[in-house]
Every structure is written in structure tokens, then in C-alpha cells.
Amino acid sequence: MSVRFLRWGMDFATGYKHPPEGSTKALPKRFAMDEDKWLTRFIFLESVAGVPGMVGGALRHLRSLRKMKRDNGWIETLLEEAHNERMHLLTFLKLAEPGWFMRLMVIGAQGVFYNGFFLAYLISPRICHRFVGYLEEEAVITYTRALQDLESGKLPKWESLASPDIAIKYWKMPENQRSMRDLLLYVRADEAKHREVNHTLGNLIQEEDPNPYAVNCIRSPASYPTKGLENIKPVGWERNDVV
């Protein structure tokens, strides 16, 4: 329910509406998504998506200091996630400049979400990671639909648009894979990985289990989670598989 509410808020802020699955009825023209509307949606999405990793990382950092014990590798992964989401935002800001209304919406959404997530993480980190896993699924859906619009010819301005230099350097994009389509594929892959990581962390005992993404494991990559995209599991890895 909470993910649906956030999805509704993001749809409202970005003027987005998607027809129900299987529906053939066309939406009103005001909901038609062009390049600018998609970028507005991406910017709003990434400004919120960068919050959970920073909150979780900060709280686990403070807990480690307070209890004077190691954190079992969770902090680094959570902060890496926050940094990755921020790089998504910085990339899209090279393609669009949000207006004052969008900036106000971001400030309001960030203020509410940061403080709400902070309190929720204090109460139940496991539920928070599960929540983020479902939130990342919504992000995957968003980028998938944008790719579908691009590939069907609905976004002609993007067909010849190259990725910004910041994206090329961050993802080390090959010369023949620097189009807008390639950029969306890279970002979607990141979101899919965040989905897996958070569902996996949600399956673990928060104060005891090591972070499997920070462990040098001798097991086969096919039977153990990695930082890469070799074997993504949308629903995450079960605790018995990684501990």
C-alpha cells in the first residue's frame, strides 16, 4: 500500500498515467509522455531513490559506533546504492533543467520521505529493505516503459541523442553504446540490481548476518550473489543460500 501511495504521488507530480494492462483505450492527450515529461519523471524518481541507502547506511554507521563493533559490510553497500542513485540524477540533470515547481516538489518529497524512512528504519530495517525492493521494481517498470516508447518511435528527439559525458565516464560506456537507449538500459540494470540487493538484505537477520555483497566467497557466482549483473534474482536471495 505504501509503495502504491508513493507511486501515485510521483505520477501526480510528473503528470504521468499509464493505461491498465490489456486496455486498448487511449489516454487523454494531457497524459501523453514526451521527452521532457519522461526526464521530469526520472529526475523526481532519482531525487527520492537516493534517500533509502543514505538513511540505512547512516543509521548502521551510528549503530556500529555506538556498539563499538563491526557492521558486517552493510554500510558500504547501502552508501554505494545512494551514490549510484545520485549519479542517475546528475546524469539526467545534464539533459533537462527542472523548474521551480519541480524543485519545490523534490524538497517536499525528500523532507517527508527522509524523515519517514528514518523512523521506519529504526523500527524495522527488514521491512524497510523489503519496501525499497518493491520501490525499485516500480523504477524498473518506469524505465522499461520509457524504453518501449523510445523503441516504438514516440520519442524522436532521443533517437539521435548521445549520453552525457558524466554518464559515459561513470558507466565506462563503449563508443558504440552511448545512445539514449543505452543510457536507459544502464540505469534500468542498476535499478534491477538495487531491487535484488534490498530484497536479499530484507531476508537476512539485520544485526547478525554479513552482507553477502561484501563477502569474497569461493562459491560459484551462479550460486551466490555478486555485485555484477551475472545472476540477478528479482525476488532476492534467500538467507539459506547466502549465510
Q: Tell me if 194 is assigned to a ligand binding site.
A: yes
* CA 28 from centre of chain: 29
Nearest to 105 by CA among 191, 45, 34, 30: 45
Max CA distance (Å), the chain? 60
21 is in an annotated binding site: no
Non-local (6+) Cβ contacts of 93 within 8 A are 43
Query: N- to C-terminal Cα distance for the chain?
Result: 31
Q: Contact, 38 vs 44, CB < 8 A?
A: no
61 marked among binding-site residues: no
Please tell me whether 208 is known to bind a ligand.
no
35 marked among binding-site residues: no
Write phi, then psi, for 74 (nearest 5 degrees): -75, -40
Q: List binding-site positions.
A: 46, 85, 88, 136, 191, 194
Residue numbering of the annotated binding site for Fe cation: 46, 85, 88, 136, 191, 194
